[in-house]
Structure 1
Amino acid sequence: MKLKFNFLILILVPFLLINKLIAQDDSREIRYNLKDYLLKIESIHKVKFSYSDSVVDKKFVTSDRSNSEIQSILSQLRKETSLKYEILKERYIIVTDFKLNNEYKYCGFIFDEKQKTPIESANVLVKRLRRGVSSNSHGFFGFNNITESDTLLISCLGFKSKTIFLKNLKKKKCVEIYLSKEITELEEVVVADYLSEGLQNQVDGSVVVSPQKLTAISGLTEPDIFQTIQFLPGINSPYETASDIFIRGGSPEQNLILFDGLKMYNASHLFGMISPFNPYTINDVKIYKGGTSVEYGNHVSGVVDIQTKKQIPNKIKGGIGANMTHFDAYLNVPIGKKIGVLVSGRRSLFDVFETPTFNNFSSKVFQNSVIGNNKPLIGSTYENKNDLNFFDIHTKITYDISNRDILTFSYLNIQNKLDYSFNTINSNRYVTKDHLKIKNLGISLKWNHEWSDNINHTISMHSSEYDSYYNYEGEFNFGTPYFQKALKTNFIRDNGLKVVVETKLNKKSAFLSGYEFLNTKLGFDINRVTTVNNGYFYDISDDQHNNLHSFFLNYSFNKKSKTILNLGVRVNYSSLSNKSFLSPRIHFEQEFLKNLFVKTSYEDKQQFVNQYFETHTSDFGLENQFWLLMDNSNALPILQNKQYTLGFIYRSDKNIFDIDLYKKVSSGVSSQTRGNMGNIQGVQEGTGEVTGIDVLLKKSFGSYVSWINYSYAKSTFNFPEVNGGRSFLSNLDITNNLQWTHNLKYKNLNVSFAWLYKTGTPYSLIDSVEDDGTFIVETLNSFRLPSYHRVDFSSSYEFSFDKLKRWNGRIGISLLNIFDTKNILFRKNKRVYNGENFESQIVDNISLGFTPNVVIRVFMR
């Protein structure tokens, strides 16, 4: 309780100090706030001042001459504020900073035409050079190495692009450029701000997340990609983790996660609590919940496509930061005018020193594992050593070969390691050692070429490696001494080639066609040996490979974003099963009233690699799943899924109401996956079904935004030999999921607050236990845990170290589960032997308690 009180004081004190400073009265002289003074002048003289808030902030004038002639007023303002005031045509006056202007040959500010707010991260491209810069947090950009004959192309996701001819501008003049949110034909963006800044809806039904534009998200100190997308309806994590994403009832292994074209088989740090991708190097993330583009294959649930920055900067940019779990650094460096190098790295801190955040994370992760079960025994008799760490490294090289060719190379290395030992103090009477290492690394190469204004292609290649290694050794020197050893390895080698050709037929229609080849090699080895009871040994291993050939074609039609159609088909051939599969996709949207659209989609997808649970090393309690290739046999059926969606969306500048009704039907479902593990004896094949509704209601009140996100999803399975042939709920079914979020942005301060409610997950009661330990359950998952409640809070503040806003900083705080609510995430039954026979024991997994986190960052733009 004391810890929570201290953090609440940490939040309140800055606000009280700010309020006190604002309330102070300077009795020595009367000073007028420049911004208020300009508003008064506008009212009297019918003129319009245009400026960035950063330019007029903390500026004052000492006399009121607002009733004087406009030229006299401007003369007074120049002397007292040291700013530049230029009258353009009619009565339009631009206010800029002399120092800011003089540093560049050409410069400007980019603003939202309606909100009159600066646009950060807008792309300003020099057409001749095919390179450019991005606007900073105040909308500012500047150039030195360009000529009067150059043309600037200004674009930003969610806004209409604009072309600027420098010959029409004057040197040393900093212009203001306004971008409109109106939609152009064939432009992808439909809603600029779907939930908050940095979350945008697309005409193909996907949602794009831009981490650099995100405002505060409740419970987060950093813009973690996986935790952010859980604020979208239809996406949640029953495990209360970052990376275990369930999209419309589909489990995490059914999602396709791509990082610069690399397929991710391990997308987590700290057993799912942290995503392994540095958000400060990511340009955007595209998420599909339904109606997925034909470009994407080998999955049956959602798609998370992550693309890192590829723009070549005009100067060195970077940053460094730390929170209470890890630190990171990144650098974006131009090498000449045509090459840019982006480098980033992150590493855990908790193997150096422990923090309250890590202690809470580890308590949640290690509960009901060997590590958690041994913890109460640590003391005078036993001791342990827990060495846990992670790191990720990413490098990207962008080469602008010509004005029509761009070549990019990416390298990613993600590693997690755990070394745990438990033994009697100062003796080898009882010694156990567990070693776990998981890595996912890969390289990708992509070439974009424009044949003409209407035809372009993208050729990409990738090579990805996944390795999971677990080793256990136990030595027991009491009674009759014996030892045990266990080993589990799982590897994947994934190599691919993808060719995509985009052809624009006219202003309304376009074709996308392509071919993808995937060569997947996969193997596993599980063995155990012990000397107890005369010893025994087993070794289960296998390795396979599959060549997957896919052809796809899509036709798109967009009539002023009022009629939108994406009609496509993908054909997949699997060499392992020697079978072809047809995968049609469709997404349609039609406006039938102003701002009100009806939308529908259909997709049929297949997955040729899946994740199963194994019980041979389950006594460790961590990472008990492993990957297998599907050969379409009875034991390893190819997973297939069909999804139907019908919905409506109303959108305006300040309001969004979005509702989707959907149904998912799956075949080739195995009983040894996350939704069923622990309930069913043996391996069974069956079907799955999810029926759901996703609802989003968002309202904007200037800088304050509030939205309600509700999902209803009923997820059931049916196995003919199980539960009397009757359907039963998935282990991780969350029928109702409600989030109410509030975001407020005041100048450089961001505040976010959210309340989460979920239906408890189902569980089974064991009716009896047979002599061999087999559980007898009359009705599977007929009981449900209590409902889940949680309240989260986040706040961040940005500041600058210099007047040119080159060096900036950010401090932030997050509070997860403010009221320390104890939620049961899921319940399972554990088989125990009491010395005479087997019996069932209930094991609950408890949610994360009250968890604070803080972050501090320094970055240069």
Structure 2
Amino acid sequence: MNKKFVIFNLIFNRTLVGLTLMLIYFNLSIAQQNTTIAGVVTEVISGQAVIGTNVILYEDSVFTKPPFRGAATNRFGFYSLPNVPAGEYFLVARSIGYKSSIKKVKAAGENSIRINFEIAEEEVVLPEVVVREKRGSEIAPPISSIDVSPELLKTLPSLTGEVDLFRTLQLLPGIKVATEISTGLYVRGGSPDQTLTLLDGVIVYNPAHMGNFASTFNTEAINDIRLIKGAFPAQYGGRLSSVLDVKLREGTKEQFTGKMGVGLINSNLFVEGPLTDNSTFMFSGRRMYYDVLQGALYKGSILPRYNFFDVNGKISFKINESHWLSVSGLMGEDRLYNSLNAKDIGYDINWGNTTMSLNWTQISNPTLFSNTSLSYTNYDFDVLLEDKSGRASAADFFASTKLQDFLFKRETEFFPIEEHTIRIGTEITLHRFRLVSSDFFLSEIERGSGSGNDQLSLEAVAYASDEWKIIPELSTNIGARLYYFKERKKLSIEPRISLTLALMENVFFKGAYARAHQFLHLIVRNDVSLPTDIWYPSNERIEPARSDQFVGGIESYLFNEVYLFSIEGYYKNMQNLLEYSSAATFSIDTEVEDQLVVGKGEAYGIEIFLQKRAGDLNGWIGYTISWTRRLFDELNRGQIFYPRYDRRHDVSIVLSYSLFNHWNISATWTYGTGQAYTLPTGQYYFNEIGGTSNQNIRFNYLERNAFRLPAYHKLDLSISYKFRWLSSSMNATFGLFNVYNRKNPFAQYISFETNEAGEKIPKLKQLTLFPFMPTLSINFTF
């Protein structure tokens, strides 16, 4: 490894240790006679960590005095309350959806006390999706951070009859989908590759099935979900825009249990249970067969055919009260292909994810928590486009990408004194890339054929942050991330800072700044609306992308916290972005770097969110107005243009109504400005050499992405009924997807039709995917 990086990392870690020792020194005289109270909060039946639980220390059992001390559990359910003076206290664990638990604690000057909680679920009237738990004089969650409850996703309508994480996230302000065929999330003007998606700490490069109506994460298999829309803290990096951090369930420790669902276009299975006294397992699988239904009901249709499958699994081992091991993984594949009735264009697009991770979680002492992991991820993407127009100038396109990562990660949380939580960590990633791109297709260049260009790159990271509660009304998170990228021998420092200020009871101001770098680039063809994803690394010729983000906003809880209102504004500046040049040829013997141009961009906007959080009728309204712009000297004659996913206005309305505890009726309506895209403004003809009568047709393009698809809007409805049958819990859901059959195009293209005079006349056509469709699914627990 580069000597400069080793030296810098040594200085970085020693400086961090020095700062930590200073914090300890200032409190040493007190700490010698004080006690640290620490432990883990889990669910009583399943043994799952209850993340984000508030653990609060009171001096009396009736809570007449203000809380003496408090903390929230981390993503593994761990909490720590350092430097508690000698005395008798009452320790309370509280979490939305769970019964509070109270324990009497006597601190008598010993170094530490281990207090674990097992809390039970309770019925709640509030089926809220976005959970923000700290209130009043406590500090609210960081800006742009959203925690989503997996158990409460199931009230919303969906195409498959199974509500999914991505479908819910799209209904929140600042999160968009370009079209029904696009995959990935577009967060605050960032492309899908600019969102870091983690599953148990492992990167998932394409976490969505087509149209984002389903993610590759089965809702039943998820324990915790955290989305950070911008200016994320120092423990996250490698992407410019946002973070989606998903943690899988451990598997219940009490008994074998499971759920099965059967629907018109998909089926799913989830099972979990104990393996031994100290080990558990979890497995889930899904299969969608929409293409089979299409073949039966729409035989003459040109609608695209589509199917997918995915599986998630995890095995967990409890070695003792301070050490845990877990092995988890994901596998999924998608296929989108044209109907046999398609005449103008043919396509066959396949992509798949595979991940594996080994995690070791350790509580070294009551003030020191760590997690170490080894992981592997693999992503494959193949696309074949065929021009069936019959033009003499017809052009095909084939691309195959294979991306593999091998990652070592070590992260530590340290609680030296009450006001500080220090996080430090290191990451080392080895990337392996394989790319084939061509303007023709032969079986010899298919994935795995032995041709293509393999590349290796090494990325190393060290980070540190301090979450500091300055006063009860003000907290900050100050940190930095140090990057070393071997291929460019580049050392980069990324400062991160955020603050939360309680202006008054239940009213908070939040602000943040973050710099981020991205060494992997997702490159897509601007002239094709179908997916043409190619991942490519930074190297000696390609600079890493860079962003600077600024975020500020107000959050308020109104009318006894029944309503939540928030408004946030953001600005993001991006450098070293990549696009295909206008003269790109996609020839198999052409270097990728020669086909690319470098530019910059910016994104800014305002998000407004109003949520009703309690009662039989609840839901929210979200509105976003935003701009995303790009500037490349070699594109669009050096003028600013809007990328595909620029969407000026975005509106989401979500309603859910609970009736008689057994029935639930829900509706979602979404509206968005149409996707920007490029169309020719004219055409010209020329005869082939040799004087034949055949004519070549060439298009004339002027401004890039000057046209827009029609506005996207859609209404979905569902009604579900819970009941018991043969001692099993059942849930039947009937849904109406795209109620008024809005034809939302994901692509428009020029097709040539022959008139009576034998002339080929250009005509604008469009492709749509999901028409009006009733859905029915039945899920039961065993």
TM-score normalised by the chain length of structure 2: 0.73
Using a 3 Å threshold, how does the CA distance of structure 1 residues 158 and 570 change in structure 2: closer, same or farther? Answer: farther
Q: CA deviation at 1:563?
A: 2.0
Instruction: Return 777-786 or 317-326, whichever deviates more.
Output: 777-786
Who is 1:25 aligned against? Answer: none
Say yes or no: does 1:807 pair with 2:700: no
- C-alpha separation in 2, matches of 1:451 and 1:235: 39
Deviation at 1:807, TM superposition (A): 2.7
Deviation track 1:272-292 (CA, whole Å, cap 9, x = no partner) reads: 553222111111111110121
For residues 455 and 583 of structure 1, what CA distance do their matches in structure 2 show?
25
Aligned-partner SS, 1:733? coil
Which residue in 2 is equivalent to 1:793? 717
Please say if residues 761 and 826 of structure 1, whose CA atoms lie closer than 8 Å, have aligned partners that are also in contact.
Answer: no
Which residue of 293, 296, 306 maps to 2:236?
A: 296
Q: Structure 2 vs 1, CA of residues 180 and 529 (structure 1 numbering), >3 Å: closer, same or farther?
A: closer
Question: Does 2:575 align with 1:667?
Answer: yes
Q: Do residues 601 (structure 1) and 512 (structure 2) align?
A: yes
Among 444, 469, 491, which residue is 2:402 paired with? 491
Q: Give the number of the structure whose alpha-carbon radius of gyration is greater.
A: 1
Query: Does 2:116 align with 1:208?
Result: no
Contact 2:98 2:119 in 1 (8 A): no
What SS is found at the alignment partner of 1:671? strand
Q: Give the corresponding residue for 1:729.
A: 642
Counterparts of 2:438 and 2:48 in 1: how far apart (Å)? 56
Alignment match of 1:583 (pick from 491, 494, 519): 494
Contact kept, 8 Å, 2:98 with 2:121, in 1: the verdict is no
The residue aligned with 1:399 is 317
Distance 1:701 1:459 in 2: 40
| DSSP 3-state at the match of 1:728 | coil
CA shift digits 1:100-137 (9 cap, x unpaired): xxxxxxxxxxxxxxxxxxxxxx94459xxx95899xxx
304 and 831 in structure 1: CA distance in 2 versus 1, 3 angstrom threshold: farther
- 3-state DSSP class of the match of 1:280? helix
Distance 2:759 2:193 in 1: 36
Superimposed CA distance per residue, residues 39-74 of structure 1 (whole angstroms, 9 cap, x where no aligned partner):
xxxxxxxxxxxxxxxxxxxxxxxxxxxxxxxxxxxx
The one of 307, 327, 344 aligned to 1:409: 327
The answer to whether residue 280 in structure 2 is matched with residue 340 in structure 1 is: yes
Match of 2:552 in 1: 646
Instruction: Give distance in 2, aligned partners of 1:492 and 1:833.
Output: 44
Cα gap change, 1:349/1:756 in structure 2, threshold over 3 Å: closer, same or farther? closer
2:257 aligns to what? 317
Q: Distance in 2 between matches of 1:355 and 1:794?
A: 25
**Compared with structure 1, are the counterparts of its residues 276 and 464 closer, same or farther at alpha carbon in structure 2 (3 Å cutoff)?**
same
CA distance in 2, matches of 1:399, 1:716: 49
1:276 aligns with 2:197: no
Which of the numbers 358, 364, 369 marks the counterpart of 1:445? 358
Checking the alignment, whether the CA contact within 8 Å between 1:241 and 1:274 is kept in structure 2 is no
Whole-angstrom CA distance in 1 between matches of 2:468 and 2:721: 43
Aligned counterparts of 2:214 and 2:619: Cα–Cα separation in 1: 26
1:629 maps to which residue?
A: 537
- The structure-2 alpha-carbon separation of the partners of 1:557 and 1:350, relative to structure 1 and needing over 3 Å to count, comes to same
Q: Any idea what SS the aligned residue of 1:667 has? A: strand
The corresponding residue for 1:69 is none
Matches within 5 A, 1:128-527: 131=47, 156=95, 162-163=101-102, 196-197=128-129, 199-200=131-132, 203-205=141-143, 206-219=145-158, 221-240=161-180, 243-270=183-210, 272-310=212-250, 312-350=252-290, 389-417=307-335, 437-469=350-382, 488-527=399-438
Conserved? CA contact 1:211–1:223, under 8 Å:
no
**Residue 230 to residue 529, structure 1, CA distance change in 2 (3 Å):** closer
Count of aligned pairs: 651
Alignment-derived partner of residue 615 in structure 2: 702
Asked if 1 retains the 8 angstrom alpha-carbon contact of 2:225 and 2:246, the reply is: yes
Distance 1:700 1:408, change over 3 A: closer
Q: Using the alignment, how far apart are the partners of 2:267 and 2:585 within structure 1?
A: 36
Q: Taking structure 1 as reference, are residues 276 and 132 closer, same or farther at Cα in structure 2, changes over 3 Å only?
A: closer
Cα deviation digits, residues 571-622 of structure 1 (max 9, x gap): 1111122212222222211011221111111111111112213599x7xx85
Q: 2:669 aligned to 755, 758, 764, which one?
A: 755
Q: 1:355 to 1:225 in 2, by over 3 A?
A: farther
Indicate how the Cα distance of structure 1 residues 562 and 153 shifts in structure 2: closer, same or farther if over 3 A, else same: closer
User: Partner residue of 2:625?
Assistant: 712
Structure 1 residue runs without a partner (length 5+): 1-121, 135-150, 167-174, 182-191, 373-385, 425-429, 479-483, 532-538
Distance in 2 separating the partners of 1:567 and 1:271: 37
Separation in structure 2 between the aligned mates of residue 779 and residue 787 of structure 1, nearest angstrom:
20
Q: Distance in 2 between matches of 1:419 and 1:179?
A: 46
Equivalent of residue 597 in structure 2, options 676, 681, 684: 684
CA drift at 1:218:
3.9
Q: CA deviation at 1:796?
A: 1.6
Separation (CA, whole Å) in 1 of partners of 2:158 and 2:752: 37
SS, match of residue 193 in structure 2 = helix
SS at match of 1:691: strand
Matched, 1:856 2:778: yes
Q: Residues 640 and 769 of structure 1: is their aligned pair in 2 closer, same or farther, counting only changes over 3 Å?
A: farther
Looking at structure 2, the residues matched to 318 and 210 of structure 1 have their Cα atoms a distance apart, in angstroms, of 19
Rate the CA distance shift 1:218–1:523 in 2: closer, same or farther, 3 A: same
> In the alignment, what sits opposite 2:456?
545
Name the SS for the 1:628 alignment partner.
Answer: strand
**Matches of 1:463 and 1:312, distance apart in 2:** 26
Larger mean Cα displacement after TM superposition, 414-423 or 227-236: 414-423
Structure 1 range deviating more: 510-519 or 305-314: 305-314
1:697 partner letter: L
Contact 1:758 1:788 in 2 (8 A): yes
**CA distance in structure 2 between the partners assigned to 1:401 and 1:798 by the alignment:** 39
Paired amino acid for 1:821: R
CA 1:774/1:265 → structure 2, altered by over 3 Å: closer, same or farther?
farther
Residues in 1 aligned to 2:283 and 2:387: alpha-carbon distance in whole angstroms: 42
Q: Distance in 2 between matches of 1:710 and 1:300?
A: 23
Question: Matched residue of 2:173: which SS?
Answer: coil
Asked if the contact 2:209/2:216 (under 8 Å) is kept, the reply is yes
Give 1:51's aligned residue. Answer: none
- Identity across the alignment (%): 23
The 1:687/1:832 distance shift into structure 2, 3 A limit, reads farther
**Pairwise CA RMSD:** 4.4
Deviation at 1:224, TM superposition (A): 0.4
CA contact (8 A) 1:286 1:304 kept: yes
Instruction: State whether residues 312 and 339 of structure 1, in contact with CA within 8 Å, keep that contact through their aligned partners in structure 2.
Output: no
CA gap of 1:133–1:741, structure 2 versus 1, over 3 A, is: closer
Which whole-Å CA distance do the structure 2 matches of 1:548 and 1:123 have between them?
Answer: 36
Deviation at 1:213, TM superposition (A): 3.0
What's the counterpart of residue 114 of structure 1?
none
Preserved CA contact (<8 Å) 1:421 1:434 = no
Q: 1:288 to 1:677 in 2, by over 3 A?
A: farther
Tell me: CA distance 1:841–1:583, structure 2 relative to 1, closer, same or farther (3 Å): farther
